[in-house]
Amino acid sequence: MKKLVALSLLSLVLSASSIFAQTTSQNDPDKKEWIQLFNGKDLKGWDIKLSGHELNDNYRDTVRVDNGVIKVSYDKYDQFNNRFGHIFYNQPFSHYILAAEYRFLGEQAPGGPDWGFRNSGLMLHCQSAKSMLKAQDFPISIEVQLLGGRETGERSTANLCTPGTNVVMDGKLVTQHCVNSKSKTYRGDQWVRVEVMVLGGGEVKHMIEGQPVIEYSQPQMGGGNVSNFDTSLKQDGKILTEGYISFQAESHPVEFRKIELVNLVGCRDPKATNYKSYHVTGDNSLCKYAK
């Protein structure tokens, strides 16, 4: 009888240990939890805004999903006619790591600008898609400019551009529209992975294939390079601490896949089952505890 009790107790202890190990494994506080913004099937959760068109008027099927990727395509266009487009995720973020894989394909749309050759971008801290006016060309935002190389010459990617914004670099306000990164040139149709770390109104870092290529801080409204916008929304000097994420359609066919995000805002209580050591901003209302 004593032997059976001992065996039962041992079984209980081993079972509890197994459950604890599984729970610990499932809630590794150092393991990044990537949120998939693109489900690989459709554009659920995304809004489309093309210049000259109303919100979600997807003119001539410019943006579509095919074979698990989001495609920006101009095969049904006669002329580009400055229909600069942006595809917005419908939830704002403040502190996060954003990653996407992209590649350029085919020929530029007829009538596209020369600078639009193999040119796209990830737009950070955007105004909302709903707040863009019909004729507005670009959202007030910070741009991670994505470029593909030409046949010859160097052309970096993950550059910084600033439609309606400025930033601070090395302690100085930068008002020029674009600043090149130190990335290498990516030619052809290869997939490239870009990541961006955004810490609210503080530090922003662009990375290509895991390597930092440009850093800056204090993204803020200011400057030009955006037109036909609601002037009441642009408060020059105001620090941008959060906003929407969008990616661009700028006249050259481009594909995106694996668009994902790590939210750096969350539970910071180590006793919680969803505590993460990498949360830089705490919101303990999100904490969950074992029952």
Reference 281, options 196, 195, 198; nearest CA is: 198
157-204 pLDDT tens trace: 999 999 999 999 999 999 999 999 999 999 999 999 999 999 999 999
| Predicted pLDDT of residue 9 | 39
Q: How many CB atoms lie within 10 A of CB 91?
A: 12
pTM of the model: 0.89
pLDDT band at residue 26 using 50, 70 and 90 as cut-offs: confident
Q: Which of 10-14, 154-158, 205-209, 280-284 has the lowest mean pLDDT?
A: 10-14
Does the pLDDT of residue 17 top 50, yes or no? no
Query: Residue 158: enclosing H or E segment and its boundaries?
Result: none
Average confidence (pLDDT) over 221-241: 97
Does the pLDDT of residue 1 top 60, yes or no? no
Structure tokens at 249: 């359609």
Torsion sign over Cα 271, 278, 286, 19: negative
The two counts, helices (H) then strands (E), for the chain are: 1, 19
- Please calculate the CA angle 103-108-113 and round it to the nearest 5 degrees: 115
pLDDT band at residue 128 using 50, 70 and 90 as cut-offs: very high
What are the strands, taking DSSP E only, across the chain? 35-36, 46-50, 63-66, 69-72, 85-89, 95-104, 119-126, 142-147, 159-161, 165-169, 172-174, 178-179, 192-199, 203-208, 211-221, 244-249, 254-263, 265-266, 281-282
- Parallel, antiparallel or unpaired: strands 178-179 and 254-263: unpaired
Proportion of the chain above pLDDT 70, given as a percent = 91
Proportion of the chain above pLDDT 90, given as a percent = 90
- How remote is the C-alpha of 231 from its chain's centroid? 25
pLDDT band at residue 291 using 50, 70 and 90 as cut-offs: confident
Q: What is the Rg, in whole angstroms, of the alpha carbon atoms belonging to the chain?
A: 23
Q: CB of 272 within 8 A of CB of 285?
A: no
Average confidence (pLDDT) over 83-99: 98
30-80 pLDDT tens trace: 999 999 999 999 999 999 999 999 999 999 999 999 999 999 999 999 999
Q: Give per-residue burial for 22-38: e unless 16+ CB within 10 Å, then b.
A: eeeeeeeeeeeeeeebb
Q: How far is CA 222 from CA 46, 120, 142, 179, 200, in A?
A: 27, 22, 11, 16, 17
| Predicted pLDDT of residue 16 | 40
Does the pLDDT of residue 13 top 50, yes or no? no
Does the pLDDT of residue 234 top 80, yes or no? yes
Rounded CA separation 224/133 (Å): 16
